[in-house]
Amino acid sequence: MKKLLVFAALASAVGAQDFKAGVARLNITPEGPIWLSGYAARTKPSEGKLTDLWAKALALEDNKGGRFVVVTVDLIGLPRSLAEEVAARVQKQWGLDRARLLLNASHTHTGPVVYPNLMTMFQLDPAQERVVKEYARMLADRLVEVAGAALGDLSPAYLAFGQGQVGFAVNRRQFTAQGVQLGVNPDGPVDHSVPVLRVSNPDGTIKAVLFGYACHCTTLTAEHYKISGDYAGYAQMEVERAYPGATAMFLTLCAGDQNPNPRSQEELAVRHGKSLGAEVVRVLTGEVKPVRPPIRAAFQVVDLRFAPHTREQFEKELASGDRFRVARARQMLQAYDERRPVRQVPYPVQAMRLNNDLTLVALGGEVVVDYALRAKREFPKETLVVAAYSNDVMCYIPSLRVLREGGYEADTSMIYYGQPGPFSEEVEETVFRTIHQVLRRVGVKGGR
What is the average pLDDT score of the chain?
A: 95
Residue 447 pLDDT class (50, 70, 90 cuts): low
The structural domain count of the chain equals: 2
pLDDT digits (tens, 9 = 90+) for 99-152: 999 999 999 999 999 999 999 999 899 999 999 999 999 999 999 999 999 999
Strands 155-165 and 193-200, sheet pairing: antiparallel
In single-letter form, the type of residue at position 71 comes to V
Q: Is there a single domain that holds both residue 324 and residue 196?
A: no
Q: Is there a single domain that holds both residue 45 and residue 167?
A: yes
Residue 310, C-beta contacts closer than 8 angstroms, at least 6 positions apart: none
Report yes or no on 222 lying in a domain. Answer: yes
pLDDT digits (tens, 9 = 90+) for 406-431: 999 999 999 999 999 999 999 999 99
Q: Is there a single domain that holds both residue 179 and residue 57?
A: yes
Report yes or no on 409 lying in a domain. Answer: yes
Over residues 290-295, mean pLDDT: 97
pLDDT digits (tens, 9 = 90+) for 232-246: 999 999 999 999 999
Report yes or no on 430 lying in a domain. Answer: no
Cα gap 181→162, rounded to integer Å:
35
Q: Is there a single domain that holds both residue 326 and residue 188?
A: no
Q: Is there a single domain that holds both residue 182 and residue 316?
A: no
Q: Is there a single domain that holds both residue 326 and residue 381?
A: no
Residue 448 pLDDT class (50, 70, 90 cuts): low
Q: Is there a single domain that holds both residue 206 and residue 332?
A: no
pLDDT digits (tens, 9 = 90+) for 57-107: 999 999 999 999 999 999 999 999 999 999 999 999 999 999 999 999 999
Provide, rounded to the nearest whole percent, the portion of the chain with pLDDT above 70: 96
Specify the pLDDT at position 445.
Answer: 87
Report yes or no on 434 lying in a domain. Answer: no
Report yes or no on 428 lying in a domain. Answer: no
Report yes or no on 439 lying in a domain. Answer: no
Specify the pLDDT at position 446.
Answer: 73
Provide, rounded to the nearest whole percent, the portion of the chain with pLDDT above 90: 95
SS (H, E, C) the chain: CHHHHHHHHHHHHHHHCCEEEEEEEEECCCCCCCCECCCCCCCCCCCCECCCCEEEEEEEEECCCCEEEEEEECCCCCCHHHHHHHHHHHHHHHCCCHHHEEEEECCECCCECCCCCCHHHCCCCHHHHHHHHHHHHHHHHHHHHHHHHHHCCCEEEEEEEEEEECCCEEEEEEEECCEEEEEEECCCCCCCEEEEEEEECCCCCEEEEEEEECCCECCCCCCCCCECCHHHHHHHHHHHHHCCCCEEEEEEECCCCEEECCCCCHHHHHHHHHHHHHHHHHHHCCCCEEECCCEEEEEEEEEEEECCCCHHHHHHHHCCCCHHHHHHHHHHHHHHHCCCCCCEEEEEEEEEEECCCEEEEEECCEECCHHHHHHHHHCCCCCEEEECCECCCCCEECCHHHHHHCCHHHHHHHHHCCCCCCECCCHHHHHHHHHHHHHHHCCCCCCC
Q: Is there a single domain that holds both residue 329 and residue 364?
A: no
Report yes or no on 301 lying in a domain. Answer: no
Report yes or no on 379 lying in a domain. Answer: yes
Under a CB-based contact definition with an 8 Å cutoff, are residues 363 and 390 in contact?
A: yes
Query: How would you class 146 by CB atoms within 10 Å of its CB: exposed for 0-12, middle for 13-18, buried for 19 or more?
Result: buried
Q: Is there a single domain that holds both residue 213 and residue 337?
A: no
Cα gap 298→417, rounded to integer Å:
27
Over residues 177-197, mean pLDDT: 97
Cα diameter, the chain: 78
Cα gap 390→258, rounded to integer Å:
17
Specify the pLDDT at position 69.
Answer: 98
pLDDT over 60 (residue 16):
no
Domain, as residue range, for 362: 18-295+355-413
Q: Is there a single domain that holds both residue 219 and residue 101?
A: yes
Q: Is there a single domain that holds both residue 24 and residue 85?
A: yes
Q: Is there a single domain that holds both residue 96 and residue 159?
A: yes
